[in-house]
Structure 1
Amino acid sequence: MQLIDVTNSYSRMIQHELVKSPVHFIKVYTLGNSKVVYKKKHAFSEIVISNKIRQITPKEIEFVKTKLLKDRADAATVTAQGNLVEINLEN
Structure 2
Amino acid sequence: MDNQWQLQEAKSKFSHIVDRANEHGPQFLTRHGHKAAVVISFEDYQKMSAPEESLSDFLKMPPFADSDFDVFDRAKEVSRDIDL
Quickly name the TM-score band, shorter chain normalised.
under 0.3
* Structure showing greater relative contact order (alpha-carbon pairs closer than 8 Å, 6 or more residues apart): 1
User: Greater CA radius of gyration, 1 or 2?
Assistant: 2
Higher strand share: 1
TM-score normalised over the length of structure 2: 0.26
More helix by share: 2
